[in-house]
Amino acid sequence: VELITHYRHESLAQYNTTLDVRLLYPVSHLQQDQLVKEDNIDAVGKKLQEYHNQYQEKSKEYDKLYEEHTKTSQDIQMKRTAIEAFNETIKIFEEQCHTQERYSKDYGERFCCEDNDKERERIMMNYEKLKSRLGEIHNSKDRLEQDLQMQAMDNRETDKKMNSLKPDLIQLRRIRDQYLVWLNHKGVRQKRINDWLGVQTENPDEGSSVSEEEENLPHYDEKSWFVGNLKRTEAEELLTGKPSGAFLVRESSRKGCYACSVV
């Protein structure tokens, strides 16, 4: 992708003087599956803008759901950890209650005839405090488990919404990319396409960083220009009638290498 991006701006003339062209128009082997019905550049541009806006809106909706799902998943994990901690605390308090109960019983049997009402009262008060605290911990754990159950249900619903959006996103991107490919093949300048897409055309003096919108264009999608195992004659047929700067990348006859076919 980096090499294709580089020669999108630089000429190939340094390799061959007859190749004074740049890699401007990616050609896909899937072009026969063409969805564009309009034949007017302005009309196609407006449709591109329409589908791109729909794709952007769906993407924002999906991203919002994804962020919500991720945050809720983290909250759920924290609650599960807290419930485990409650279970351990409950075990400790139950053991203390049993110990206090045994001590109270033993004390009563051993000193039942002596005047030790104050000590027995103190033991019973400690026991009741432990039982009360144990009850509070149980209640807190029960509330947390209810919250966890509700959150898990909400998160499953969010996941369903995300899954229902995925087919729409795939279809909208597919249609949008078909319009992009059509405009590229007609030789429409990238700046004009960027205007329809709402992509800021970068000043060369301001660096070479790539915007998120540009990364979604066919040049940055390997599937739009890598055609795999294709013979040279088949590549030439696919490029026939395409404007100067149209290109595709295929597997070379030399094992492990690639070949770039250019008009």
What's 40's domain CATH number?
Answer: 1.10.287.1490
Could you tell me the pTM of the whole model? 0.58
Cα–Cα distances in angstroms (integers) from residue 179 to residues 30, 35, 48, 53, 188, in the given order: 13, 8, 6, 13, 12
Residue 235 DSSP symbol: H
Q: What is the mean pLDDT of residues 50-75?
A: 94
Where does the pLDDT of residue 139 fall: very low under 50, low under 70, confident under 90, or very high at 90 and above? very high
- The 10s digit of each residue's pLDDT in 239-255 is 776 666 677 777 777 77
188-203 burial, b for 16+ CB within 10 Å, e for fewer?
Answer: bebeebbebbebeeee
Q: What is the mean pLDDT of residues 177-191?
A: 82
Query: Does a structural domain hold residue 116?
Result: yes
Check if the beta carbon of residue 55 is closer than 8 Å to that of residue 254. Answer: no
Where does the pLDDT of residue 32 fall: very low under 50, low under 70, confident under 90, or very high at 90 and above? very low
Q: What is the mean pLDDT of residues 57-63?
A: 94
Query: Does a structural domain hold residue 1?
Result: no
Query: Does a structural domain hold residue 195?
Result: yes
The pLDDT value recorded for residue 51 is 92
Check if the beta carbon of residue 251 is closer than 8 Å to that of residue 228. Answer: yes
pLDDT over 90 for what percent of the chain?
Answer: 27
Provide the pairing of β-strand 25-26 with 246-251.
parallel
Query: Does a structural domain hold residue 23?
Result: no
Instruction: Report d(CA 101, CA 123) in Å as an integer.
Output: 9
Instruction: Report d(CA 95, CA 98) in Å as an integer.
Output: 5
- Residue 86: phi and psi, rounded to 5, are -60, -45
Rounded to the nearest angstrom, the gap between the alpha carbon of residue 241 and the centroid of all alpha carbons in its chain is 39
Angle (nearest 5°) at CA 232 between 230 and 237: 90
Instruction: Answer with the residue of higher pLDDT: 198 or 34.
Output: 198
**Taking 90 as the threshold, does the pLDDT of residue 208 lie above it?**
no
Structural tokens at position 93 = 């308090």
Query: Does a structural domain hold residue 3?
Result: no
Where does the pLDDT of residue 34 fall: very low under 50, low under 70, confident under 90, or very high at 90 and above? low
What is the number of structural domains in the chain? 1
What burial class does residue 253 get, using C-beta atoms within 10 Å of its C-beta: 0-12 exposed, 13-18 middle, 19+ buried? exposed
Instruction: Report d(CA 207, CA 203) in Å as an integer.
Output: 8
pLDDT over 70 for what percent of the chain?
Answer: 70
The pLDDT value recorded for residue 33 is 43
Domain hosting 195: range is 28-224
The pLDDT value recorded for residue 148 is 94
Instruction: Answer with the residue of higher pLDDT: 45 or 25.
Output: 45
**Taking 80 as the threshold, does the pLDDT of residue 58 lie above it?**
yes
**Taking 50 as the threshold, does the pLDDT of residue 164 lie above it?**
yes
Query: Does a structural domain hold residue 249?
Result: no
- The crossing angle, in degrees rounded to 10, of helices 117-185 and 41-110 is 170
